[in-house]
Chains A and B, each alone.
Chain A
Amino acid sequence: MNLDFSDEQNQLRDQVRRFLEERCPPKAVRAVLEGDANHDAALYGGLAELGVLGAAIPEEYGGVGLGHLELCVLAEELGRVLAPVPVASSIYLVAECLMQAGSEEQKSAWLPKLASGETIGCWAINEGSGRMQPSKISARFENGKLTGTKSPVADGAIADIAIVAAREGDGVSLVLVDLSAGGVSRENLNSVDPTRVQTRLRFEDAPATRIGGTGDGWHIATQVMDRAAILMGFEQLGGADRSLEMARDYALERMAFGRQIGSFQAIKHMLADMYVSATLARSNCYYGAWALATSAAELPVAAATVRVSATTAFQHCAKNNIQTHGGMGFTWEYDCHLYYRRSNALALALGSLSTWESLLIERMSAGNVEAAA
């Protein structure tokens, strides 16, 4: 049994961690939070050069051809530093969708550009408030044209292409839209986490091509989001771990009543509970990484397990990181709120926690009771 990353994968982690420590300090995240830019383009270019974007994309499509385990390692590092770049949208979702269901032509046209960072993709499924379901999709795809509104779309403001879920006949199809080809308007939305821009995309007879068969859209999207949930789970894990470290460091440094506050059991036990949820999430994430890399039959259960566990852990650690910092944690100046924002934004991306809790049990009960042991 080997439920762990290899030495090579851990070396890759060290290399990317050093790169990100230098190129993505908190001030780089703040530049996107406070400035006009919607992402850190220089950082994104650097990640492309390093091979991060193409890690799981085959060499024949311009990638590095490492694999999904490597991408999991990289995702965790991106999550640790809250990298303000569209890797989740462009790589975990759009590139993944093309690899899973794209035609040869679509893959050849877009995967090399996604790997090089020249093209940014976004994932435009959701429409309006409430849990996403096929019946709620009202965007329409007819005669090669897409009409409808998608909101919120992460990284929609900076994307060059979008994969959109749209009604076609009686079913839902996925279509690919070149956002520069006309018929598209964009409007940025305020959000709880401005370090990942949210956008409303309006399509009016925008030219689009279908990915996969007519009416297969929801099925493909589910598969893609399961895979992305595992990768995003690693980002959440990185964020949870970093939040715990920040809280631990502060508990060691801050004095009150003549003692380090970490010596008070109220603080110590809160941190121990953060460690517990982060550890559970890590172990569940490793299970997910295995399922993702081997495309195991239990991938849907593993994905939902990762999603629920990692979301729970990141939210838990990020909110208690603020609590440990006391009043200082609620200042704009301290970085705690950056993690709090991201934890709550990621908790909703790909569908909310309660949606995934429900999916997990639905999938476990559809399988067999063995899955519970």
Chain B
Amino acid sequence: MDFNDTPQEAEFRKEVRSWLDANAPKHLEAELKRASFGSSGLTSEDPIKAGKAWQKKKADAGWACLHWPKEYGGGARTPIERVIWGQEEGVYSVLSGPFTIGHGMCGPTVMAWANEAWKEKLLPPLASGEEIWCQLFSEPASGSDLAGLRTRAVKADDGSGDWIINGQKIWTSGARNSDWGLLITRTDPDVPKHKGLTMFFLRMDSPGVKVVPIKQANGASGFNEVYFTDVRIPDSQRLGAVGEGWKVSLTTLMNERLSIGSGMSTGFPELFRFCMEAEVDGEPAVADSNVRSKLAQFAIKQSGLKYTGMRAISALSKGETPGPENSIGKLVAGATMQELAMFALDLQGESGVVWDEDSPQNGRFQAMLMRSPATRIEGGSDEILRNIIGERVLGLPGDIRVDKDVAFKDIPTSGKQKK
């Protein structure tokens, strides 16, 4: 056991470091270090503009989309090289936030399902950050049960072969800045829910597309609703066969879970620093036995996630596929962050309710408290993640699904209607 690079890895790391040293936008470093909870931390520059500039610079030098093939603008690097890049890019990776969904999910889906002409047209500008993509999956009435979505795609009656889209998507990150969207729709309500879906991609400036920011429970607006009113999509922008949308979406969702070694934040380092400075009954908080017990339980989660990530990196380094242990990441990090935020406010006593610049660490823990409920829901809720661990890792049977063989149009849509 060791934490060392192999000679080839060390060589690669050196190359990455020297390129970053010469090219990273160092004037933004201090601002980027303040990034948290979906905010880039940037105030001196527009985050999208700065992000596009950094992505283009990386792409020109061959450092964009390291996991993609070169012909589509990628770096064709190994998984371990991608991990090393991520470690070295560090705080500057925040700048590429607007492209995460495109690079990690939409791009791989296009790569797997689009024809060659589309791939050549769509992928290079996505890799270089010239175009931004968003993922139009969740709906107000279908989140965890994604296959229950209702946005309709109907063949136009003018013989053009185009599709007419009507409906609503929600929780779409970055929709306001996106050029393209990956859209899953229902084309056939007369068959069971998984069988009547079809995937498309479309320009976000298509007539009839309306993006509305969501005012979230924490007061911020990172997500959007996207409304479709008679939006026309050419049939050439369909991915996979009609009715095959669920299968196509699995490509996207599989890629969502492939981000390895990124190491999700639990907020522990920040809490520990706070407890080193804060006092309980006139003594340093870290000397209090109750505080110590709580901190220790947070600490083992933080280090457990860290070393779980390192085990995955070890597997990649040997050219192996990491085991299922990475599936615990978001489940642990989300719940830990929420408990930890509550504990940090508890230590502040009655003042914990105050959320302003004078609050400890500029109100970081209050912000964490108010953002953490979303972490436990987005990208697979705690409950869905536990199902995945239970069924795919432990091999337990799936739940009984009463809507499995029922035509979509006959599935009940409200508990109230039954009465």
A-to-B contact residues, CB < 8 Å: 1-5, 69, 244, 248, 251-252, 259-260, 262-265, 267-269, 271-273, 275-276, 279-284, 286-287, 289-290, 293-294, 304-305, 308-309, 312, 354, 356-358, 360-362, 364-365, 369, 372-373
Contact = CB atoms under 8 A, between A and B. Distances in A.
Nearest to A287: B307
B343 to A, nearest CB: 13
Interface of B: 1-5, 9, 268-269, 272-273, 275-276, 284, 286, 289, 291-293, 295-297, 299-308, 310-311, 313-315, 317-318, 325, 328, 331-332, 383, 385-387, 389-391, 393-400
B389 A357 contact: no
Looking at B301, B302, B317, B390, the one whose CB has the most chain A CB atoms below 10 A away is: B390
Contact of B397 (A5, A262, A269, A372): A262
A276 B5 contact: no
14 contacts: A1-B4, A1-B314, A2-B2, A4-B314, A244-B394, A248-B394, A248-B395, A260-B396, A265-B386, A283-B307, A283-B310, A284-B303, A309-B300, A373-B269
Contacts of A358: 289, 292-293, 296
A252 B390 contact: no
Nearest to B393: A275
Contacts of A267: 396
A268 B386 contact: yes
A287 B305 CA distance: 11
A265 B399 contact: yes
Given A358-B296, A362-B292, A369 B276 contact: yes
B304 A279 contact: yes
Contacts of B317: 1-2
Contacts of B3: 1, 3, 290
Nearest to B294: A357
A5 B1 contact: yes
A259 B308 CA distance: 34
Contacts of B293: 354, 357-358
A279 B308 contact: yes
A283 B325 contact: yes
B386 A283 contact: no
A276 B296 contact: no
Given A1-B3, A244-B394, 5 more contacts: A252-B395, A281-B304, A290-B1, A354-B289, A365-B275
Given A252-B397, A263-B397, A360-B296, A2 B318 contact: yes
Contacts of A293: 1
Contacts of B394: 244, 248, 262, 268, 271-272, 275
B292 A305 contact: no
Contacts of A271: 390, 394, 396
B304 A283 contact: yes
Contacts of A309: 300, 303-304
Contact of A69 (B1, B284, B302): B1
Contacts of B284: 365
B386 A272 contact: yes
Nearest to B311: A3
Contact of A280 (B296, B300, B391): B300
Contact of B2 (A1, A252, A357, A373): A1
Nearest to A275: B389
Nearest to A370: B269
Contacts of B296: 304, 308, 356-358, 360-361
A286 B299 contact: no
B182 to A, nearest CB: 29
A369 B273 contact: yes
A269 B284 CA distance: 38
B97 to A, nearest CB: 21
Nearest to A293: B1
Contacts of A276: 328, 331-332, 389
A236 B195 CA distance: 47
Contact of A361 (B1, B269, B286, B387): B286
Contacts of A4: 1, 311, 314-315
A159 B5 CA distance: 45
B387 A268 contact: yes
B398 A263 contact: yes
A362 B303 CA distance: 16
Given A260-B397, A305-B303, A309-B300, A279 B325 contact: yes
A220 B19 CA distance: 48
A286 B1 contact: yes
A289 B1 contact: yes
Contacts of B307: 3, 283-284, 286-287
B316 to A, nearest CB: 9
A287 B314 contact: no
A280 B308 contact: yes
Contacts of B273: 369, 372
Contacts of B286: 361-362, 365
B396 A251 contact: yes
Contacts of A294: 2
A265 B291 CA distance: 33
